[in-house]
Structure 1
Amino acid sequence: MPRQFDGSRVRVVRRGKELSQKELGAMVGVSGPTVARWESGEEFPKGDKFPAIAAALGEQLDVLFPYDGPVDLQLLRCDAGLSVAQAAAVIDASRVPISNAESGRRRLQDTYVAPLAHAYGVSKEELLAAQDVSFGVRGAQRPQAAQPSAPRTVGEKINYLLEHGYVGQAPPSDEQIARAVNEHTGVTSVTASDIAALRAGTTTEASDVVRAGLAQALQVDAALFQDDAELSPAAGEFLEAVRFLGSIHRGQILGLAARGNHSGLSAGMMAKINELVGELKHKLPDIKDEG
């Protein structure tokens, strides 16, 4: 089961670490333009690059690139940061045994199990369990890192909305957000650098005027940016709905539990959500319109 890759999330974290695309690329062995294509969604890195990217950004692999489902051989290899060719070199063979095992065509020879387990940093039992998964035998899931808590600070809320609220379209840049906030306030209240600082967590304070401008820029109710430690239940439900709809769009939702939400939506955002639901409704099982 491949890990999820969100280029916009990588961009946010990279900027928070004050790294250029060229610098991040050098740290993971690619060019700056390649990183730019990853972040824009034009291309996706190979799975074996994920550990290096997470390490370069100082993030936990399971948090930056989450995954759902049991662990298979491909995930073990990629999480070890190895390409198919590198894994094949471990067992002094061609790529064929690795590719066949990962695709569920032919199991690994017994002599390959111990060296691959060592290279992947797992036990032989864990590697064999992953091989079963690759061949369609469902096994136990590897414990995952705890999911991030609900966004609390202004910057975390901005990041959350940008990550989950712009399905099928590019989220606004820091420059575009700052411009929209300033247009709303009628004065130069923030700069792109101020927005970047909020998102990176180096700045946590924002005036009520700026909070209202952010709500307008991101098409949400101003209550989402209220100065409280935790989101209100209604605002929390709204953010969960945003994340949920984004997951539908990415094909990650397997079922649907109905939940009402009556607060926190601007007219513009509601229109976008209604449009998305209409486009994706055929993917959801047994959904009935509420009267």
Structure 2
Amino acid sequence: MPARRFDRSRVRAVRRAAEIAQTDLAAAVGVANSTVGGWETGLASPDPEKLPALARVLKRELNDLFPRTGLPDLTDLRCDAGYYQYETAKIIGTKSAGPVAGAERGERRLKDRYIPLLAAAYGVSEAELRRAQERSIDKAQREPGDEPEHEEAGIAPAAGGPPSTLSEKITLILDRSYPGQQQPPSDAEIADAVNAYAGSEVISEEGVRALRTGAQDAAAPVVLDGLAAFFAVSPMYFQPDDAVARQVYEGLRLLSASRKGSVGRVRGRGAGPQGLSANVMSLVNDLVTELEQRDPEASG
């Protein structure tokens, strides 16, 4: 998973605006004064486990001060909770952090009895922890720099399959629709677009951030419709309908493939009531054929 982005200039600006001395910040997060100086001059970067404490001291939301696109794996959840790996041994009641280390490396799954303990410590639900675990395993099963393969498609699926929560649905679109150097829209831009769709202010930048990060898991129908219009997906995508979510997920796989030049390896296939509908499958196959004709080498 992509690491959180540490912007030394922004951290320095936020600290100065809050009138917090480097020495006070260092003391609050438990590091030497010179360490904070190194962070702000670019000589070093803080451990990801330190970012939550930094955000708290600077009175900023973690996702605002240190943004990250993409869905979290087990390592991300631990770091976002401010725990170092060795500290997890005490959480799960073992002599070492071996079980957590192995799960983070994707070598083996956590025992069921560890799930509720870690979920509570990390401040997430057990379902979120299990989905993060699957992302760690998915990451470990591919070579560095390679995209994971999905059966015969050769295109990376969203880790853990189609999204289920509102946060995962928004994050999936942001992650898959703006690859490479393209920058996804900011929370403020999304809020402006939704408000323009509604014709009045129905959500704020902070409200969008809460939905995107999972701090809030529900929104008014007009907000969901505005999000669907902005992202150009079916309004049903943001409803609790697994079949529709899977169809949009498959469409995003195709979009990702076309932008990576590997769309020729993708073929829509029927997958029962939870897969692509006949119309969508036909559209996918027609588009693949058209792109193959334009660029025969893409299917090689």
- TM-score w.r.t. structure 1 length? 0.49
Q: TM-score, normalised by structure 2?
A: 0.47
